[in-house]
Structure formats: C-alpha cells, structure tokens
Structure 1
Amino acid sequence: MRRILFPLIFGLAGLGVLVSLGVWQMQRLAWKNDILAEIETRIAADPVNLPAAMSKENDKYLPVTLTGEMEPGEIHVLVSVKQVGAGYRIIQSFSADNRTILVDRGFVPTSAKQAERLTGPMEITGNLHWPDEIDSYTPEPDIDENIWFARDVPNLAAALGTEPVLLIARSQTDPGVTPLPVDTAGIPNDHLQYAITWFGLALVWAAMTGYFLWRNRTPAKSEEQ
C-alpha cells in the first residue's frame, strides 16, 4: 500500500488542479459571453446625438447619428480585410453642432488610395470607439506617404485638428468606401479553448496516473505469488 500511496496522492492532487483550472475557464467563458452580449446590445441600440462630454469609459460603442459636414483631407490607416486583402481605413474630420471629431469612413483597396471621395454635408450613423491598437511593435506613421499603422486616436486628432473622439461609420458615406462597423469579432474570447486544453490535460494526467499505479502494483503481485 505504501508503494502506491504517494503516487496516488500526487496524481489526485494534480488531477484536482487541472480540473479546477478547466472549471475556472468555463466560468470565465460565461463571464466573457455576458460581456460580449452586453457590448452587442449596446452597439445595436438606437443612435443618439453626440454627448456634450465623452469618455472612453462611459461612451465606448455608443451609437450616434451626426448631421454635419465631412471636411477635406484624410488619413490612411493600413489594414487587411479577410477575402479582400490589404487596403486602408479612411479617417477624416467631421464638423457638426460646432464640434469637430474624427470619422472612420471605412475601407478602400490600395488601388483606391488616391481616389476622390465625397465631402461636404451628409448624415452619418456609427459608434463611438477608442481602439486599442498600439503596442511596442507598432511602427511610426509614414507622414510623407500618409500611411498610418494603427488608429491612434489622440495622434490622429492632433493631425487633423479635431477632438480626440472617433466615430466608426456603419452607414455608407461614399460609394467607393466600404464601412467596417464596430463589432465584437475582434474581442478575444479563447476561454473555451483554454478549458478544453485543461480538461484534456486532466484526462491525460488521470490516464498516466492510473498506468503508473498499475505498474507499481505489478511487482508486488509477483512477489506474493
């Protein structure tokens, strides 16, 4: 009995840890799904007027409708769209109600980088957003070629002379620009994969523990015979 007691305790302890990690990831999955559902509900809500004061904490994903004027001059943010390829997000300034904010009009292919686009009076519906796209690997923008590599809202606002507020259009603002509206597809939710991994490791651990215990009992049986 002493031959297998320590391996048994060790095996059960390891199994308990792996199973508890899998259960924890399932709890995290439920929590994340609730958050994503809340975000999707907020994104799809009826649009409102632009708030007088805005913040990332209170107004992220807020649906807004603006009537005003699209200003000339644009910034191109390099992106890649599935099944389409490389292109640019078109960022411009938009003036409404004596305020000027940034608008992400959507996507154009690289061949349409220099195409003329509609400006002037228009109505736009979209969602306020403060994308988190900057890290230590993000290159500095190529100002001469007008190529940016992330939607860095404060720097975009400084470049175009607007408030540091970005509206992601979900309505069409130009026939040649495809809107890329806000959604939850880019929000990581890998908890199910993590849970499967932990439960899979628990299964392997249990099998290896059982095999080790069986191997340890075999000599003892032989000696008794």
Structure 2
Amino acid sequence: MRRLPVLPTILVALAIAVMIALGIWQFQRLAWKEDLLKSYAAAQGLPPIRYPERPDKMHPPLFRHATGHCAQVVDWRSTSGRNLKGEAGWVHVAQCRTDAGHDMQAVMGWSDRPVSPEWTGGPVTGIIAPDSQHVIRLVVDRPAPGLQAAQPPSLADIPNNHFAYGVQWFLFAGIAGIIYGLALRRRSVDRA
C-alpha cells in the first residue's frame, strides 16, 4: 500500500470536517428557527402592546398586535408590497414622530402608484412586521384615505430552509471524500 500524500490529505480532511460542522450547525439553526416561528405564532394571539419606542434589535416583538400614535408625519417612503388580494404595487410607509418624540414606521396602506397619501397622523393599530431599515414597522389595520389595506406580515414569508442547507453541507462533504478517494485511486494506478 502506498503512502497517502500528507498535505493534501490533511487539507481535504479539514475541508470535510468544516463541511460536516456546517451541516450540524444548520441543523441546530433549524431547531432555533422552529422555536422562533412558534414564538411568533404565539405572539399573534397575545394582547396588543404599545408600539416600542426603542425596539430591541435582537428580540423585536414581531407579529404582535400594537397601538401607537403618529403625532407628526416626518417623511414618507414607498416600497414594493402587496394588498390583501395579493396584487403587487406600493406600500406607503409613514415615518412618524410619536408623542414622546421617538420614531415610528407605519405602513399606512397600498396603492398601484408610489404617490404618498395626504395623511398627517393620528392613532394607529396593526401588526408589527420586520423592517429592513428600522428593525420594525407597524402594518396598520385601517389604511389612510385613498389607500387599500396592505398585506399583513405572514409567518409563511419567513424562510426556514436550514434542513436543506444541512443536507447540502453533508452532501458536499461526502462528494469531497469520494472525489479525493478517486484521485488517490487514480494516483496509485498511474504509479503502478
């Protein structure tokens, strides 16, 4: 039996070990994500809270019903979104100043054009959703005049593909082992 090449064998073994570790990590993340989704589902049935003045970036109260008061609309932004019928268009997000002087993002409704409504503020109720720029935003139950209701956040929109990622890493590790085994076999045939 011929000796294995030391450095390539160590490198391939390390690469396979890293891939296996990544697969295990993805399975651990799967359990974490399932617990997170359960907590979000439970949050939907909890009593409403006041919209947080300073949301916790690590544990935002997503999918909670909340109330707030927009004392002043500071600015508007329009982003792509859907209405209750699932039609694509624009959701209109009001950047509000609250009575306490904090910022609140409120999705005031949906339209087929990116034109901001003439809503100037007031009390709002809705469901807390993730916001890529401000951690959270409130998708209101009652849209501003001239707008349709925007699609509320859905648990179905949160990806949970950690199982597939874990299997993928294990397959990569297996394929790397097979390819290295074939390379060693060819090396030994070429030397024979």
Secondary structure at the aligned position of 1:104 is classed as strand
Query: Conserved in 2, the CA contact under 8 Å of 1:8 and 1:213?
Result: no
Over residues 106-133 of structure 1, what are the superposed CA-to-partner deviations in whole Å (9 max), with x where a residue is unaligned? 211117x37777x898x85413457232
Distance 1:94 1:197 in 2: 46
Tell me the alpha carbon deviations over residues 114-164 of structure 1, each in whole angstroms, 9 at most, x when there is no partner. 7777x898x85413457232xxxxxxxxxxxxxxxxxx59xxxxxxxxxxx
1:63 is aligned to 65
CA RMSD in angstroms comes to: 4.4
**SS of alignment partner, residue 110 of structure 2:** strand
Q: Gaps spanning 5+ residues in structure 1: where? A: 134-151, 154-164
Residues 72 and 101 (structure 1 numbering): CA distance in 2 closer, same or farther, change over 3 Å?
A: closer
Matched residue count: 183
* 1:89 to 2:92 alignment: yes
- Which of the residues 115, 135, 151 maps onto 1:180? 151
1:103 paired residue number? 106
CA deviations over 1:30-84 (Å, ceiling 9, x no partner): 2122223212322x12333537x74302763332256x89989973423244973
Partner of 2:3: 3
- Once the two structures are TM-superposed, the CA of residue 202 in structure 1 deviates from its matched residue by 1.0
Aligned letter for 1:35? L
**In structure 1, the residue corresponding to 2:76 is in which secondary structure?**
strand
Q: Partners in 2 of 1:192 and 1:86 — Cα distance?
A: 33
Determine the C-alpha separation between the residues in 1 that align with 2:54 and 2:121: 27
Contact 2:91 2:107 in 1 (8 A): no
How far is 1:206 from its partner?
1.6
Map 1:116-135 onto structure 2 (within 5 A). 124-128=124-128, 131-133=131-133
SS of 2:50's equivalent in the other structure is coil
CA deviation profile, 1:154-213 (whole Å, cap 9, x unmatched): xxxxxxxxxxx95321x2435741223233456565534432332221121121122123
- Tell me: higher relative CO, structure 1 or 2? Use CA pairs within 8 A at least 6 residues apart: 1
The residue that corresponds to 2:171 in the other structure is 200
Query: For residue 29 of structure 1, what is the aligned residue in structure 2?
Result: 30
Which residues of 2 match residues 7-18 of structure 1 at below 5 A?
A: 11-18=12-19
Q: Distance in 1 between matches of 2:49 and 2:183?
A: 67
TM-score under structure 1 length normalisation: 0.57
C-alpha separation in 1, matches of 2:87 and 2:18: 45
Greater Cα radius of gyration, structure 1 or 2:
1
Q: Is the 8 A contact 1:47 1:65 kept in 2?
A: no
- The answer (yes or no) to whether the contact 2:95–2:103 under 8 Å persists in 1 is no
The answer to whether the 8 A contact 1:70-1:92 is kept is: no
